[in-house]
A and B are shown apart, each in its own frame.
Chain A
Amino acid sequence: MIATILRRLGMAAITLAGVAVTIFVLLRVVPGDPIAMMISPGASKADIAALRAHYGLDAGMGQQFVVWARDLFRGDFGVSISMHRSVLELLAERLPATLELAVAALTVAVLLGGAVAVFAVLMSDYGAAPIVDTVNGLFLAVPDFIWALMLVLTFGVLAPILPLSGRIDPTFDAHFVTPFYLIESLVTLRLSIFWDVARHMIMPTLALALPLAAVITRVLKESLREAMMQDYVLLARLKGKSQLRLVMQEALRNAIAPTLALTGVQFTFLIGGTVIVERIFSYPGIGNMAIDAVINRDLPLIQGLTLVFGALFILVNMGVDLLVTLANPRLRHG
């Protein structure tokens, strides 16, 4: 077990290094100069050269990589060219916003997808399956980008009840000790602030959650349906358990493993989706920052963000593998 985890960690490190090298090289072999984006038109050649030297961009690519990797191991991610601040500081400030959003979306997706799947199985005798399948197919096909904008139209224009952008109402004079606004305001029981932060998260969360919920519904519904035909469920039925109890107590436990594995893979897609959804709602997370970083050719920031996204993806995948192994006794002892 521990050997497996160590081996997976080793593989993950190789993949992450591969991602880092790929992006590092990509950013430097293509035309486009980060310095040209930040200087004023009247700058002299000497000024430009001085700036290049300041950001270490005058050295050869190999040397730049060595310097970057060496600093990285010391916990130094470099300085953002466009924001003139430490990349690590920026990441520490923005990553929690994205994490709160992603975890909220995952929670909503699991609850919603699970509820619809259970509902569909309970109602299968009443001919609900085709309707659920059709609606679910719609949610499977349409991505977060479109949902986000449809929500904007619905709750921003048609029934303007939700804030359209940001993370918190700027008129609030709220001080936070941590960058986890939602959790902190809840823990410190500042409920009006909590409610405001939550309201800002509803639309982006839904946009991210809906496609994932549809995936969960599809897989869980199939596994539940299979589980419901097993002998132990029949036995429980003969004992006189209600349909709801059969699904919740008997079938669900055995149907959860395949759903878990798929949810994990899909969760990485959800994290990827935060990039554009944060953009649409001007939500101050790392995704929104990443788009700006790319447009400004902010090499150190892009590199830092790349590592964070890569690490997140790999960690989620590993965590899921671990959970699936733990949930399945045959694999656990295998």
Chain B
Amino acid sequence: MVDGALTRARAEGARSRRREWIVACLRDPKVMVGGGFVLFLCVVALAAPWLAPHDPLEQDIVLGVTPPAGFPGAEPGHWLGTDDLGRDILSRVIYGSRIALTVAFVASTLAAAFGSALGLAAGWRRGWVDAAVSRLVEIWMAFPPVLLSILLVAVVGPGVGSVIAAIAIIDWTRFCRVVRAETMTQASGDYVTAARVVGFTPTRILLREIFPNVLPVLIALISLEMGIAVIVEAILSFVGLSVSSDTPTWGGMIAQGRQFLHEGWWILAAPLSLLFLTVLAFNLLGEGLRRALDPVMRR
């Protein structure tokens, strides 16, 4: 009887909360601008074969290093110019967004899942679980993340899978620390005591009472993590440890641009600008989400 009423009340509460979140997000300019760009990028990545004017791998030595449209010596049809092998840069950055977004979404989801599982456990159980997890986080953070990711990918072997695994293995600590602290705060709340009194099992309290309240922070963190993942992928490609060189990536293009800096600045400028905008968009989205989903900050 009591249980049924509670379940109904909760379902209603969850629905109205979800509606409140969506409205708050739609009202937030940061969410709209950042999210809009991310959405645009997703469309570009999905529609790459139709959007790209050329085959990103098609080489044409005769057309090597031609500048973007509007500059003297530009080649019509190559809007952002060509690289040293005569490949169309616009097509390559379009295709490069595929790897960037794949890594961003998969790696940050994995890192979030792993980190929040440990964070929830540490924040809820406390005691030795918390001590062990905290020590692990401390050891993890006593090492430069960039170097650790290079190390992981170098030993496992290059490839998108390794890049994703490396990011998840390194960045789970970000989620773990925040979720742990948030869980501890939530666990001392009155509603948790109430749930205990009603006789809910600890697992149920943790997953159905506490976790939904940790979720807003988690969602904002995931968005910020996606920006980080895009950068890490670019760094790994830059060092030559991401996917094989025939798949266009922004980081790989940046490394190439750094090498041919004096022959053509646009080889570096094009992927770098896109990387810059993408990171900015994920950050805007994350910050906007944090503000929109947090009832305290919203007021």
Choose among A19, A31, A142, A279 the residue that contacts B142 (Cβ–Cβ < 8 A). Answer: A19
Interface with A: B92-100, B122-130, B200-208, B269-277, which one?
A: B269-277
Choose among A15, A276, A302 the residue that contacts B235 (Cβ–Cβ < 8 A). Answer: A276
- Residues A263-309 near B (CB distance < 8 A): 268, 271-276, 279-280, 287, 290-291, 294-295, 297, 302, 305-306, 309
Instruction: Check B279 against A143 for contact (C-beta < 8 Å).
Output: yes
Which residues of chain A have C-beta atoms less than 8 A from B156's C-beta? 30
Chain B interface (Cβ < 8 Å from any Cβ of A): 135, 138-139, 141-147, 150-152, 154-157, 227-228, 231, 234-235, 238-241, 254, 258, 261-262, 265, 268-269, 272, 275-276, 279-280, 283-284, 287
Instruction: Check A19 against B139 for contact (C-beta < 8 Å).
Output: yes
Which residues of chain B have C-beta atoms less than 8 A from A30's C-beta? 155-156
Q: Which residue of B lies closest to A279 (CB)?
A: B239
**Separation in Å of the A259 CB from the closest CB of chain B?**
21
Instruction: Check B272 against A150 for contact (C-beta < 8 Å).
Output: yes
Instruction: Check A275 against B265 for contact (C-beta < 8 Å).
Output: no
Known: A32-B155, A156-B261, A157-B262. A272 touches B239 (CB 8 A): no
Chain A interface (Cβ < 8 Å from any Cβ of B): 14-16, 18-19, 22-23, 26-27, 30-32, 137-138, 140-143, 145-146, 149-150, 152-153, 156-158, 164, 268, 271-276, 279-280, 287, 290-291, 294-295, 297, 302, 305-306, 309-310, 313-314
Choose among B154, B234, B261, B287 the residue that contacts A157 (Cβ–Cβ < 8 A). Answer: B261
Q: Which residue of B lies closest to A290 (CB)?
A: B147
Which residues of chain B have C-beta atoms less than 8 A from A273's C-beta? 144, 146
Instruction: Check B279 against A146 for contact (C-beta < 8 Å).
Output: yes
Report Cα–Cα, A294/B155, bound state, in Å.
8
Which residues of chain B have C-beta atoms less than 8 A from A18's C-beta? 135, 139, 142
Instruction: Check B147 against A15 for contact (C-beta < 8 Å).
Output: no
Known: A149-B268, A153-B269, A280-B258. A271 touches B144 (CB 8 A): yes
Q: Could you show 8 A-B contacts with beta carbons less than 8 Å apart?
A: A26-B152, A26-B155, A30-B155, A137-B287, A141-B284, A153-B268, A273-B146, A275-B146
Instruction: Check B265 against A22 for contact (C-beta < 8 Å).
Output: no
Which residues of chain A have C-beta atoms less than 8 A from B135's C-beta? 14-15, 18
